[in-house]
A and B are shown apart, each in its own frame.
Chain A
Amino acid sequence: MTSDHAATSDHAAHDPAEIDKHVRVYITVFVALMALTIITVAVSYLDLSTPIAVTVALFIATVKGALVACYFMHLISEKKVIYAVLALTAVFFIALLALPALTHNNGYWIP
């Protein structure tokens, strides 16, 4: 059993100074997420056309999602196996979201 494992946890190599650095990043990300939430709501009050409003809202949501995934979920410094799992998931997810667009003639968001 000892031949194929190391006696550490996923993050045991982190020292206290590194954790302090992480905490500062978490607070910065929190401030950024708050600011982006306010921007999302503020933009919705502008009289934008539907395609532009959708694009802007989804762009901001994607940036917020990326911040959560990269820093809170530590994807910015994750192991290759996790990236492989997520890459495969992304392929299927994109195919899933593309299906309605490929099978519908009305055009995106246009009634």
Chain B
Amino acid sequence: MDIPYTYQVRRDTGLTNGKIGIWLFLASEVMLFGALFASYILIRTGSPSWPRGDTILDVPMATFNTIVLIGSSVTMVMAWASLMRRQFGTFRLYMGATVLLGGVFLVVKYFEYSHHLHLGEYPSTNNFLAVYYTLTGLHMLHVIGGMVVNAYFWGPGAKLYKTNPVWFTNRVEHSGLFWHFVDLVWIFLFPTLYLL
């Protein structure tokens, strides 16, 4: 039995089930990160002193990563637009670039973490570092998850395009929505952790 409404829209919602599913998942993700941001506010306002992020963290490195992640959001949406134009080759280029930029983000993050760990700055060192590692660590896991899904659609998952291009385009759109959400979270993490 086929899964219903994968590429055909329901008349009652005007959407495919996958589209509603990814938005419901993103709603749960908003609450997950919201809980952590609320904890951050509580810990910070309850602390007798709190360091400015730029006295501990590497702002130029994080700025570079912000540009990388925004760039990857653009390549992601261009990958989807390429499929809408039925240009599979162009899709592969943009999707490959998206995965690559995700990899660049992780490499920069690796150097950032290594630097702090080398200095003996662990999550247990103080509240600031605990918040920093928790929020950026969870975000990094999301980047890895998004990269795995995007790499799948770039590689073996792309076989679906030959048999059902509309369904494949929808799948790429849904993985794109997740990727943009990951970018959106970073847009808030960057100033609140690194600059304030």
A, B assembled together = yes
On A, residues with C-beta under 8 Å from B are 1, 4-12, 14, 16, 19, 22-23, 26-27, 29-30, 33-34, 37, 40-41, 44, 50, 53-54, 57-58, 60-61, 64-65, 68-69, 72-73, 79-82, 85-86, 88-89, 92-93, 96-97, 99-101, 103-104, 106-111
**What is the minimal beta-carbon distance from A16 to any residue of chain B, in angstroms?**
6
Most chain B CB within a 10 A radius of its CB, from A16, A44, A73, A104: A73
Q: Which residues of B contact A96 (CB under 8 A)?
A: 31, 34-35, 38
- Contact in complex: A6, B81 (CB < 8 Å): no
Q: Does B27 contact A (CB under 8 A)?
A: yes
Q: Does B4 contact A (CB under 8 A)?
A: yes
- Contact in complex: A111, B184 (CB < 8 Å): no
Partner of B41, one of A19, A27, A79, A100: A100
Interface size class of B (residues with CB under 8 A): 35 or more
Partner of B184, one of A44, A65, A79: A65
- Contact in complex: A97, B173 (CB < 8 Å): no
**A7 to B42 Cα, complex, angstroms:** 50
- Contact in complex: A26, B173 (CB < 8 Å): no
- Contact in complex: B195, A40 (CB < 8 Å): yes
Q: Does B156 contact A (CB under 8 A)?
A: no
On B, residues with C-beta under 8 Å from A are 4-5, 7-16, 19-20, 23-24, 27, 30-31, 34-35, 37-39, 41-42, 44-50, 54, 59, 63, 66-67, 70-71, 73-74, 76-78, 81, 84-85, 166-167, 169-170, 173, 176-177, 180-181, 183-184, 187-188, 190-192, 195-196
Partner of A68, one of B9, B14, B180: B180
Considering only CB atoms, which chain B residue lies closest to A81 in the complex? B13
Query: A110 with B45: in contact, given A23-B81, A65-B187 (CB under 8 Å)?
Result: yes
Partner of B8, one of A6, A92, A110: A6
- Contact in complex: B59, A44 (CB < 8 Å): yes
**What is the minimal beta-carbon distance from B29 to any residue of chain A, in angstroms?**
10
Query: A72 with B180: in contact, given A9-B7, A9-B166, A26-B78 (CB under 8 Å)?
Result: yes
Of all A-B residue pairs in the complex, the 4 with the closest CB atoms, nearest first, are A100-B42, A57-B191, A44-B195, A89-B27
Q: Which residues of A contact B30 (CB under 8 A)?
A: 89, 93
Q: Which residues of B contact A37 (CB under 8 A)?
A: 63, 66-67, 70
**What is the minimal beta-carbon distance from A15 to any residue of chain B, in angstroms?**
9
Partner of B15, one of A27, A54, A81: A81
**A41 to B61 Cα, complex, angstroms:** 12
Partner of A34, one of B19, B27, B70, B78: B70
Query: A53 with B8: in contact, given A11-B84, A19-B84 (CB under 8 Å)?
Result: no
- Contact in complex: B81, A22 (CB < 8 Å): yes
**What is the minimal beta-carbon distance from A60 to any residue of chain B, in angstroms?**
7
